Amino acid sequence: MSGIQLVLLTGVAFICLYFVIRLKKKLLDLVLLLLMIAAAVALIVWPDITTRLAKVLGVGRGADLVFYISILIFWFIILKLYDRVRRLERSFTDIIREDALKKAITPSNETEPGQ
């Protein structure tokens, strides 16, 4: 086993530990997570899998294939996060607006604002 494999496996182990502690209530999430962990471990221990897959797809090296797919995934995540931010902003705006409407200052002589 090479050094990089040890580093990656340690990282995966920590991520796994963190999520198991946080998500222990939801069975489905846990199963999904364990599947992903298993896939990650398999790809780290037997890197030939990615290389063979890369060859099939016409990419030179396995590492390159992983890199390209990561870019796509990151773009997707960024867009989802932006969407989340915008929805958050909308509810935040509603609250601030409601507060402003409630506390509106009325001119002291409302009937004759021209005075």
Going 36 to 39 to 10 to 79, the CA torsion angle's sign is negative
Q: Is 104 in the site for another protein (CB under 8 A)?
A: yes
Lookup: tokens for 7: 């580093």
Q: What does the angle CA 37 – CA 41 – CA 10 come to, to the nearest 5 degrees?
A: 90
Please tell me the count of residues contacting another protein according to CB under 8 A. 23
- Binding marks (x or -) toward another protein, 1..40, rule CB under 8 A? ----------------------------------------
| Least distance to another protein, CB of residue 83, Å | 5
CB 16 within 8 A of CB 30: no
Q: Does 113 bind another protein (CB under 8 A)?
A: yes
